[in-house]
Amino acid sequence: MKKGVSIILSEKEVVYVVSDSVGETAEFVVKAVATQFNGGYVDIRRHSYAEDKEDIEEVIAMARQTNSIIAYTIVIPQLKKYLDQRASEEGIMAVDLLNPLMESFMKRFKKEPNHQPKLLRKLDDEYFRRVEAIEFAVKYDDGRDPRGVMRADIVLIGVSRTSKTPLSMYLAHQGFKVANVPLVPEVSPPEELFKIPRNKCVGLVITPDKLNEIRKERLKALGLRSEANYASFERILVELEYSEKIMKRVGCPVINVSNKAVEETANLIIDILKSERSR
């Protein structure tokens, strides 16, 4: 036997679960139904990744020997048609678990299905990729660990309050692993920053006026005096001049975030990186 077919010697009634993907959905439905018949009433035998007529014939032969039901989730039209035809010819009960709902979707929403197997698995993979990216962004936020610079898809650099963290999180939800590094005159940037390809890094700049405004509001929120050095024009100009030197040394593209929403800046970053990498 192949492709995930399991044979279990048992006196239970047998249901063959057939799918052009993993078959988890079909097995779950069959188990749910089986619980209505004193639970554990059936022996479920999964046949995953059915791709051609040979796979169907294999299941038909086994189901015929055990006088079983075939429950299936097949979205490839030709394969579904062949299974229905062969089951009818052999007098085997075959139940399509998707088609009734699929047809309801088509009638109500006036759309045609993709008829592509494994799409649910792709969605699951995307979900876990986003979760991994979010965890990465948290771990390598604010220059906490310079190793993240080498491992990231995108590295953001800039002075404090240039939206590095919100951008990192937003991009992480898009599936990008992002590290961000604050640029502070008194602290040398990690050497890793100068070892990565220039098209992997983006510098974030802002006008002095806007940064002064943002920092004053930040100090107020923290219950501190707005006249603190952190928000002074002199300090801001020093930081911006320093960050400009670092960005030139890195050779990375630069975005002015002064009057941009996080979403807008994130889209610009993605566009810039795509254009840089296509060269």
- Segments making up each domain of the chain, as ranges: 13-117, 120-277
275 a known binding residue?
no
Q: How far apart are CA 255 and CA 213, in angstroms?
A: 19
pLDDT score of 7:
37
Two domains, one topology: 13-117 and 120-277 = yes
Which residues lie across from 209 on neighbouring strands?
none
CATH fold for the domain made of 120-277: Rossmann fold (3.40.50)
Kindly indicate the confidence band of residue 3, based on its pLDDT and cuts at 50, 70 and 90: very low
The sign of the dihedral angle between the CA atoms of 185, 188, 193, 195 is positive
Mean pLDDT within 239-267: 96
Report yes or no: 136 and 172 within 8 Å, Cβ to Cβ. Answer: yes
Tell me phi and psi for residue 123, to 5 degrees: -65, -40
Who wins on pLDDT, 155 or 50? 155
Average pLDDT, the chain: 88
Tell me phi and psi for residue 254, to 5 degrees: -125, 140
23 a known binding residue?
no
SS3 54: helix
Task: Kindly tell me if the per-residue pLDDT of 253 is higher than 90.
Answer: yes
| Residues whose CB falls within 8 Å of the CB of residue 55, separated by 6 or more in sequence, listed in order | 3, 18, 47, 49
Question: Rg for the chain (alpha carbons), in Å?
Answer: 29
CA separation, residue 10 to residues 44, 72, 93 (Å): 11, 21, 20
232 a known binding residue?
no
Mean pLDDT within 106-121: 72
Kindly indicate the confidence band of residue 272, based on its pLDDT and cuts at 50, 70 and 90: confident
Q: How far apart are CA 32 and CA 106, in angstroms?
A: 26
Who wins on pLDDT, 194 or 277? 194
25 a known binding residue?
no
207 a known binding residue?
no
Question: Cα torsion for 138, 139, 141, 147, to the nearest 10°?
Answer: -150
Mean pLDDT within 73-78: 88
User: The domain 13-117: what is its CATH number?
Assistant: 3.40.50.20
75 a known binding residue?
no
